[in-house]
Amino acid sequence: MPVSLQLKNQHLLWRAGFGPAVEQWNDIIKTSPQKLYDALEKASRKEPMPLNVATNVFDGLMNGIDGIRRTEMTPEQRKELQKKTRKEVRNLNLEWLNEMVNSEQQLREKMAFFWHGHFACRNLNAWYQQDLINTIRRNALGNFGMMLKEVSRSAAMLAFLNNQQNRKQKPNENFAREVMELFTMGRGNYTEKDIKEAARAFTGWQFKLNGEFVFRPQLHDDGQKTVLGKTGNFDGDDVLDILLQHKQTSVYITRKLYKFFVNEEIDETRINQLADGFYNSNYDISKLIRNIFTADWFYAEKNIGSRIKSPIELMAGIRRSLPMDISLPEAQLYLQKIMGQILFYPPNVAGWPGGKNWIDSSSLMFRMRLPQLMTMKESFNIKPKTDDDQDMGRMQQDDEMQKNNKKIGGGGRVIETTIKWQMPYDALQKTARENLLPAITAFMWQTDAAKMNKAMVEKFLDASSRERYIQTGIIHVMCTPEYQLC
């Protein structure tokens, strides 16, 4: 069965962005995927505006609170500084989520979202986290080798992977191991000796309190090292160059991109073809993803609606279809935690596993209720799972968040939103009443909307007016299992 133009375009907008915005609904019916991709690419060419919510953290680290240096603080003052820093990380989360929802640079933000999981990093220092995500966003469509080097020099990553403790004659192998296993070649393509030698090369890679990278030669092992068969007086940049020179790095990155953007079922022939082009282009990310998003096979029926949306994709997609004002934006952090994906808090250095890991019996039911929770002020009383490793001292933060959420009878909580319903009304203005539900379903589902049992669904809709029919139709269709797929 041929795939419709609308479904192809929505497929592209979900994979190369965070789903169609309501104001795009009528355009995606008539434009071509090629023109749509060209528009996405053009919008993302300019350098992104940096996220800028952690501007006071450095002053806090240096001067403490009210001019008191951190080393002179009382336990209470240290606790207050930590509270301030946690708040900055929360603000950074919400600021970036808003960019995903509202930015015209959908391709750049979606690529940055992918690299955010690839270069997974947790750090309670908001200044360092902000610098890292801005580095990733700036390089998301550029050169992978350049991004790898900038990320590897970031304070957030050097701290997270313990390279501050990596010193001459006392090497710490954590940084070198993860660079090889997770950032470049993948497990099984190097030896333990390669890791030990690479760790020696990264000695002396440090950062100042303000997050600036610094090389400290007195801590660096300047002896001969052998990494992946090459011998020399290597430093960290030399090791990264050696890793980039290995074709396996191109294959590993290409396979991971394919699983994320195309299908978790790998086509090895396509991977090798794409990896060849990626390697020969000197790791040009834009060329690689253009080869993916403009290929005929990308729009094959087996690739459409084959991915389970991550919690962030689910939340951002709802907000793009239903623009809304949220009276307490911090409630979104609570939702992220319930569903298992908090920006800037990956579960471990490998990032989020994705796929079917997003779904279990309890999380699926909550995800299917989410559109109602975000639009109809329905109460919920679900506690997120506790993960001491992932919480990193954030239990107090969650307690504060729960107190702030509006409580109603029985202890439930409500997400207060104001939906801008006029936008979907306008988008569906020319659609006849009898065609409203099929049209809504076609916009919301990435599976065969023709299989929907219209009579069964309409029993749950409010037909008292056209406006109420549209409202309840959109919400109900979003609450289906099919909406979980993209």
96 found inside a domain: no
Residue 407 shares a structural domain with residue 443: no
289 found inside a domain: yes
Residue 383 shares a structural domain with residue 450: no
390 found inside a domain: yes
Residue 400 shares a structural domain with residue 458: no
Residue 338 shares a structural domain with residue 395: yes
Provide CB contacts within 8 A for 261, sequence distance 6+. 15, 16, 114, 289, 292, 293
Q: What is the pLDDT of residue 394?
A: 44
For residues 243-270, give the mean pLDDT: 98
Question: Is residue 242 predicted with pLDDT exceeding 90?
Answer: yes
Question: Is residue 177 predicted with pLDDT exceeding 80?
Answer: yes
For residues 429-451, give the mean pLDDT: 94
H helices present in 405-465, as ranges: 422-427, 436-444, 454-458
Question: Is residue 376 predicted with pLDDT exceeding 90?
Answer: no
Residue 328 shares a structural domain with residue 375: yes
Question: Is residue 407 predicted with pLDDT exceeding 50?
Answer: no
Angle at 35 between CA 33 and CA 36, to 5 degrees: 60
Provide CB contacts within 8 A for 431, sequence distance 6+. 439
Least confident of 279-288, 373-382, 395-404: 395-404
Q: What is the pLDDT of residue 456?
A: 81
Q: What is the pLDDT of residue 246?
A: 98
19 found inside a domain: yes
For residues 139-146, give the mean pLDDT: 98
Q: What is the pLDDT of residue 382?
A: 78
Confidence of residue 29 (pLDDT cuts 50, 70, 90): very high
Residue 441 shares a structural domain with residue 386: no
Average pLDDT over the chain, rounded to whole?
91
Q: How far is CA 59 from the centre of its chain?
A: 29
For residues 447-474, give the mean pLDDT: 90
Question: Is residue 192 predicted with pLDDT exceeding 50?
Answer: yes
Residue 358 shares a structural domain with residue 446: no
Q: Which of 378, 397, 419 is the last residue of a domain?
A: 419
Residue 358 shares a structural domain with residue 431: no
Confidence of residue 386 (pLDDT cuts 50, 70, 90): low
Q: What is the pLDDT of residue 401?
A: 47
Confidence of residue 79 (pLDDT cuts 50, 70, 90): confident
Q: What is the pLDDT of residue 379?
A: 80
For residues 233-261, give the mean pLDDT: 98
Question: Is residue 317 predicted with pLDDT exceeding 60?
Answer: yes
Q: What is the pLDDT of residue 458?
A: 86
Q: What is the pLDDT of residue 198?
A: 98
Q: How far apart are CA 132 and CA 367, in angstroms?
A: 30
Q: What is the pLDDT of residue 96?
A: 98
Question: Is residue 94 predicted with pLDDT exceeding 70?
Answer: yes
Question: Is residue 143 predicted with pLDDT exceeding 80?
Answer: yes
Residue 372 shares a structural domain with residue 399: yes
Residue 266 shares a structural domain with residue 343: no
Residue 467 shares a structural domain with residue 428: yes
H/E segment holding residue 232: strand 230-232
Q: How far apart are CA 203 and CA 403, in angstroms?
A: 46
361 found inside a domain: yes
Q: What percent of the chain has pLDDT over 70?
A: 91
Phi-psi region of 181 (alpha: psi -120 to 50; beta: other; left: phi over 0): alpha
Question: Is residue 398 predicted with pLDDT exceeding 80?
Answer: no
Q: Which of 419, 445, 474 is the last residue of a domain?
A: 419
Q: How far apart are CA 295 and CA 280, in angstroms?
A: 19
Q: Which of 419, 438, 468 is the last residue of a domain?
A: 419
Residue 332 shares a structural domain with residue 388: yes
471 found inside a domain: yes
Q: Which domain covers residue 38, as residue numbers?
A: 5-43+247-303
Q: What is the pLDDT of residue 453?
A: 84
Q: How far apart are CA 108 and CA 114, in angstroms?
A: 10
Confidence of residue 274 (pLDDT cuts 50, 70, 90): very high
462 found inside a domain: yes
Confidence of residue 68 (pLDDT cuts 50, 70, 90): low
Number of structural domains, the chain?
A: 3
Q: How far apart are CA 70 and CA 58, in angstroms?
A: 11
469 found inside a domain: yes
Question: Is residue 85 predicted with pLDDT exceeding 80?
Answer: yes
pTM of the model: 0.94
Task: Give the number of residues written for the chain.
Answer: 486
